[in-house]
Structure 1
């Protein structure tokens, strides 16, 4: 009886330890699996980055399936024009065709990097702007960012294949960044 009780306690302990184990985020999953190619820093906040990896010999559907099996994303776009986007809590993963048809570029960007740097047209046909507004926590992000990109001579990030390591970003902090308050006053129904 003592042996059975000890075995049950040991099994319960092992299950508890494995359940409390450190959970990986999607950045770590990608980092463990694919080769890092480059890191692009935000033009607004150096803490916001986009890391670019190469999945050699893997097409977009294979990479997308693998990532979704590892951690379920909050949103998944359709595969369109050689691009697909997976949205996680803290990261937005863009999958694009690599230099060869059998390779995929896996770009893992912080939400802040996407909010402050991406050209809204990158997401055309992939994610609706109202979804991006929610993810990026900015009302009418697409319109505001499009205007910001236009006013900075179109110098917004268009994804690694189009902008690459030469990205320097638009000058100035976006007007929608840094204001955590919702506005209004007493009785405005917040």
Structure 2
């Protein structure tokens, strides 16, 4: 929902202005909808995709960032490796049915870039372990298999891919 509110809804609004004859219904939620059964033309999904009869179009990706509050680092020191995180209080992003080794509670987080841009910009969080290889989550448009993709869906997906870009706009704003 956070991604939908911040980055999808403005693109839906733009698309509606550009195509006033189309009826658009935006449903923001964190559950996996059944596109066919529930009558959706399209879903936006972040992360790995299960095998299905649906078609996926990759639109962009987002980086999972390790960050910490400056006050926490001043008190506890900055971890010097991923293994050192075991000795820190951490909060790790979990999408869908994924599992995590870390427990809730703490001042070090691993979150998708789109969730923490404001906190990074303001200095409430700072990146840590930046030399580690980045982890990315793909962002896809998912739609049912059809002989011909409806033009409205294709145009909307084209618009999303262009607006978000690669790397996505929220990461370019931070210089990532």
TM interval, short-chain normalised: under 0.3
Q: Scaled by the length of structure 2, what TM-score is found?
A: 0.25
Structure richer in helix, relative to its length: 1
